Structure 1
Amino acid sequence: MLTVVIPTFNEEHNIIPLTERICESLKGKEFEILFVDDSTDATTEVLEGLSRNNPRVRFIHRHNQRGLATAVVEGFRAARGEVLAVMDADLQHPPEVLPRLLDSIETGNDLVIASRFVPGGKDGGLTPLRRVISLTARLIGRLALKKVRPINDPLSGFFMFKKEVIEDVKLSPLGWKILLEVLVRGNYQHPAEVPYAFERRRGNHSKMSLTEQVNYLRHLVRLVSSSPEDLRFWKFCLVGTTGVGVNMFFFMLFTRLFSLDVILSALLATSLAIFGNFLLNDLYTWAQQKEDHLLGRVIKFYLCSGAGMVINVAVLSALHCYLRIPAILANGAGIIASTAWNYYANNRWTWGSATSRLANENPDSQ
């Protein structure tokens, strides 16, 4: 059976048309609609009457509680279905998409997202300002979390998954983006996205606020902190940033205090910065992973860093000299490429055997 979980807060005018459209869309299917209600208006009374007249409708009314994500999690716990769907109550998520999501589940996918950003999808229900906010939030989420990067619409509030995806998983969402929690913590193998057109909101104004945006950022920090692989990458970036400061300090010291040649000073400063980065990464980023001898790790790190510098210069040259991209932008692209290389190479080679061992011991962390 499918359970459609719908969190509600003051949606009295949308409940009945939404229910009618869901029932029409899922005609012939075994399903229930579970509203989790935090309302302070007449929504609760509407739900009471609806549940009496429609056996497919159930609702939970929470007293003195607020929060879309926590409401959805409570709905997950109370759901009777083996497949769970989540959607909003404001009619921006068209119920007519539910059969397509269910078809995708029945063909073997265990997590299916209704997406605005795959071919055929549209985000016409957003104002220009909300589109900018949504784009920024998606970019930050995909940059911060590895498991989110393959997903085009990781902030969708409209999705469906098999209940086994969250079995024995502790969900502790913060704010309004429950899908991020499922993507990072859930146990799934075959995610998919189905296009849909995000519709304009009907009825009350949007419940998006500055507080919810701050909660989104706090949620990202919590997810990164609880994901060893993501946390390791950001530790590596932090160490690399400190390396820039170390490099500049020694470069100025050699050129101004000791009056050394600029090229020689740059080489010495870079070598010291690389060694400083190695020590910090060895003690901080990959603190538990010490299977190779110290000298072996140092040599590997220097080789990876040297290759990273070659990549940086190659990308800079290609973009600036051949494609005429401004030098500052081309150099930035080179830095990104070399950072990605350095992390991947060091994670797989310098500290690679221990990384693989920990991954095998803790498969859920990767």
Structure 2
Amino acid sequence: MNESLLRELVPAVIGVLVRRGADFTAAEDAVQEALIRALESWPDDPPRDAKAWLVAAAWRKFLDAARADAARRERELAVKVEPPRGPVPGADDSLWLYFLCTHPSLPPGSAVALTLRAVGGLTTRQIATAYLVPEATMAQRISRAKRRIAGRQLDQPGDLTTVLRVLYLVFNEGYSGAIDLAAEAIRLTRQLAASTDEPEVAGLLALMLLHHARRASRTGPGGRLVPLAEQDRSRWDTTLIAEGVAVLQAALARDRLGEYQAQAAIAALHADAPSTAETDWVQIVEWYDELLHLTGSPVVRLNRAVAVGEADGPQAGLAELSKSDPDLPRYTAVRAYLLERAGDHEQAAALYAAASSAATSVPERDHLTREAARVRKLLRS
């Protein structure tokens, strides 16, 4: 059975139930119940029309729940119709559901969980496993999110910027267990791109594809972090890179530049280079200029300092770094890198060690510890 197909049908099925009168919470619960039934019965008895089967099953679940609740009896009578016979008319409700699940009233973590469940079609257990939290904890998070958006209509305008930010949060979670969140984010972003012609949606899709293309080379044995300069570029997925570049070029041709397009352009230049030394760092700096103009982000300014150091030398990079806030994450590691390139190995070793102590993940901490040891070895040689 194609579980990916099941997940792709979820937004449309929820949309059918909502248009018939179910509120979002009841519709989403009913569809999840129908999905469980599909997973149990389809392997032995697959339906001819998967969408019609899910709509019929979910609608019955909704009516059963309505009958069990005396307070909803009148509403049930108002919305009850016969289950569909034959194909269900197509309607793309994905975009509406994205906007609903990423409502500004929801904290980012809740928006991500609700998007994965309502638009992505994942079960609460799958989402909890992916985020390494108990199923009960994730169920409470999703329930609170649904209560916050209860009663909101699907025809309300949404904030596309928030939708894209949530999708990027999903992508950056990477993967764990049976649910690959990076791949799931790409699938959802493809779905969103099919619902709108906004170039920033294409920009985000291109960015994800270009980053995902390098995934196999980013870690070594035992989860060891492998920096870009040391990655085996023969392991990069050239098919994903080609697709990402094509998507990006089409977006840039619209002449409505946004931050995801600018980030994707930087990723494309890295993907195009045979090595770090052969990278077009001058053009990367120019794209960072665009990105800084669009966002004003301190993190972008920090990353720009690294690019300047590669394009114009470490002293120029250090001069740019002096314009950044020393309290930023990675500031100390960036300064250590630029000082090492400038030949100040003693201070670089000390800063690598300091950055290691402040690292927020085990792979990053171990990588910076190895860098400190490597530079200390240079001092003794």
Same fold (TM over 0.5): no
**Structure number with bigger Rg:** 1
Structure with the bigger percentage of strand:
1
Provide the TM-score with structure 2 as the length reference: 0.30
Tell me which of the two structures has the higher relative contact order, counting C-alpha pairs closer than 8 angstroms and 6 or more residues apart. 1
Provide the TM-score with structure 1 as the length reference: 0.31
Structure with the bigger percentage of helix:
2
